[in-house]
Amino acid sequence: LGEADAYANAIKVLAVREVLRILDGQAAGPASSIAKVAMNVMLRRTFKATLELAAPSAMVEDNEPAIVEPYFHLPAELIGGGTKEIQLNIIAQMILGLPRK
């Protein structure tokens, strides 16, 4: 839980930083890509842990709160805004200055 909280706080800080940049009239920076990758990692780990903890009860059709249903929306959530691989390429080029190839 501590790791998930740390990831969530890091993502919040990056998001606030980007919002402040945009409000200042600047274009979104590479921190947007870092936040997207961090969110991707956090969502995967959180959903995996949730399913492991809830195992049998997660499979009951009428469970409350819905445990399994959000998991099925995860691929769309992770692809929105660019896949993890695309974001890592942006980070490599914009932050690390690595060549495209």
Q: What is the pLDDT of residue 95?
A: 83
Q: What is the pLDDT of residue 26?
A: 92
Domain ranges of the chain: 2-94
| pLDDT at 25 exceeding the cut of 90 | yes
pLDDT of residue 20: 92
CA distance 38 to 42: 6
Distance CA 65, CA 51 (A): 13
Cα–Cα distance, 58 to 65 (Å, whole number): 9
Task: Please check the confidence at residue 40 and state whether its pLDDT lies above 80.
Answer: yes
Query: Is 18 strand, coil or helix?
Result: helix
Amino acid identity for residue 27 in this structure: A
Percent residues over pLDDT 70 in the chain? 90
Which residues, in sequence order, are CB contacts of 31 under 8 Å at separation 6+?
14, 17, 18, 21
